[in-house]
């Protein structure tokens, strides 16, 4: 079971069976399988040889935004020497979507999706000693942070929005700089020093401000982001079933879309939806399709 590479048995059971985590928590991984795959030497070779796809790299140093991607390229390709110089200057290097390019992490990611029905991705963050990359933000999916080397300090605050998801209450869409000022003034609700061999669960919506406190050693961690399924996702899958019905593919005249007939169109479609998903619907057949989609669809994001 791939979740067991990230978390102890009790925490895995909570993710699979409930109760779903509502607050951050730290866990000893127990299994050394992940640590044998993702050694410091592995990342050193992967990053600074220039083997990482350039489109999956972000380089950032707080409080500034990410550097222009051209800063890490030569002739359009990743330049490992440039990345090393930036890292030595205090920039965090983020390697995105390692499940697409590292076979062992691809296998873990796919197995997690089979176990949970959640698509997911794996990012790596390499932060130099006494430095910071990303600042305060929240994510729209639960994250399991696996500390691989060094120490990472996580300052955490309770959510300011409820259950953010794609296109709704993402931090980049609704950000208020006054929040950061208050967080800094009041201090975190929770602060964690994450050590190698430990994992941190950060529920979606929890604000986090990660930094490397050690003045002599950098930090490397993996973020496994699990895209939680929601009732809205189920509704989307149900609507996809309607494409097979000709009545849902017929043309709506402009007058029925922008004219006085719009209200009537809405009433009609609502009735059509009720008929389509009446007690006569093949719910079990639809459920089998949705179950397969949950275990196979890769790019959905909450």
pLDDT tens for the 302 residues of the chain, in order:
689 999 999 999 999 999 999 999 999 997 778 998 888 888 888 889 988 899 999 999 999 999 999 999 999 999 999 999 999 999 999 999 999 999 999 999 999 999 999 999 999 999 999 999 999 999 999 999 999 999 999 999 999 999 998 889 988 889 999 999 999 999 999 999 999 999 999 999 999 999 999 889 999 999 999 999 999 999 999 898 899 899 999 999 999 999 999 999 999 999 999 888 886 678 888 899 999 999 998 875 44
Question: How far is it, in rounded angstroms, from Cα 208 to Cα 225?
Answer: 14
Cis link prior to 63 (omega < 30° from 0)?
Answer: yes
Q: Are 141 and 200 in contact (CB under 8 A)?
A: no
Q: Are residues 221 and 257 in the same domain?
A: no
pLDDT in tens, 70-105: 999 999 999 999 999 999 999 999 999 999 999 999
Q: Are 94 and 58 in contact (CB under 8 A)?
A: yes
Q: What is the pLDDT of residue 299?
A: 72
Please list the alpha-helical segments (H only) found in 152-261. 171-174, 177-186, 231-241, 254-257
Please list the alpha-helical segments (H only) found in 18-130. 33-37, 40-48, 80-88, 103-116
pTM of the model: 0.92
Residue whose C-alpha is closest to residue 98's, from 161, 37, 150: 37
Question: How far is it, in rounded angstroms, from Cα 211 to Cα 148?
Answer: 15
Residue whose C-alpha is closest to residue 116's, from 214, 26, 16: 16
Q: What is the pLDDT of residue 285?
A: 87
Task: Write out the H or E segment, with its range, that includes residue 269.
Answer: helix 262-276
Q: What is the pLDDT of residue 302?
A: 41
Q: Are residues 236 and 210 in the same domain?
A: no
Cis link prior to 19 (omega < 30° from 0)?
Answer: yes
Q: Are 117 and 158 in contact (CB under 8 A)?
A: no
Residue whose C-alpha is closest to residue 165's, from 276, 52, 17, 301: 301
Q: Are residues 183 and 271 in the same domain?
A: no
From 226, 256, 275, give the residue that closes a domain: 226
Q: What domain range includes position 47?
A: 2-226
Q: Are residues 137 and 219 in the same domain?
A: yes
Q: What is the pLDDT of residue 1?
A: 62
Q: Is 293 helix (H, G, I), strand (E, B) or coil?
A: helix
Residue 189 contacts by C-beta under 8 Å, 6 or more apart in sequence? 156, 157, 158
From 183, 209, 226, give the residue that closes a domain: 226
Domain count of the chain? 2
Distances (CA, A) of 238 to 27, 162, 220, 235, 298: 37, 25, 41, 5, 18
In a domain, 55, yes or no: yes
Q: Are 128 and 212 in contact (CB under 8 A)?
A: yes
From 204, 226, 248, give the residue that closes a domain: 226
In a domain, 302, yes or no: no
Q: Are residues 137 and 13 in the same domain?
A: yes
Q: Are residues 134 and 251 in the same domain?
A: no
């Amino acid at each position: 079971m791939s979740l067991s590479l990230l978390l102890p048995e009790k925490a895995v059971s909570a993710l699979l069976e409930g109760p779903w985590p509502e607050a951050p928590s730290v866990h000893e991984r127990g299994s050394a399988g992940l640590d044998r795959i993702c050694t410091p030497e592995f990342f050193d070779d992967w990053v600074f040889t220039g083997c990482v796809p350039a489109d999956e790299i972000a380089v950032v140093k707080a409080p500034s935004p990410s550097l222009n991607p051209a800063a890490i390229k030569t002739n359009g390709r990743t330049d490992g020497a440039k990345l090393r110089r930036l890292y030595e200057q205090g920039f965090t290097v983020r390697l995105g979507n390692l499940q697409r390019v590292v076979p062992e992490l691809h296998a873990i990611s796919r197995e997690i999706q089979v176990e949970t029905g959640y698509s997911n991705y794996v990012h790596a963050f390499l932060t130099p000693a006494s430095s910071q990359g990303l600042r305060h933000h929240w994510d729209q999916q639960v994250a399991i942070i696996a500390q691989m080397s060094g120490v990472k300090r996580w300052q955490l605050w309770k959510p300011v929005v409820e259950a953010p998801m794609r296109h709704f209450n993402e931090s980049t869409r609704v950000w208020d700089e006054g929040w950061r000022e208050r967080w800094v003034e009041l201090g975190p609700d929770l602060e964690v020093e994450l050590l190698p061999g430990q994992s941190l669960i950060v529920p979606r919506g929890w604000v986090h401000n990660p930094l490397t406190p050690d003045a002599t050693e950098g930090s490397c961690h993996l973020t496994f982001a699990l895209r939680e399924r929601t009732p809205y996702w189920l509704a989307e899958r149900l609507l996809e079933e309607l494409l097979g019905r000709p009545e849902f593919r017929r043309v709506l005249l402009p007058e029925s879309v922008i004219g006085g007939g719009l209200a009537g169109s809405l009433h009609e479609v609502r009735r059509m939806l009720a008929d389509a998903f009446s007690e006569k619907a093949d719910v079990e057949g639809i459920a089998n399709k949705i179950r397969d989609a949950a275990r196979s669809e890769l790019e959905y994001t909450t």
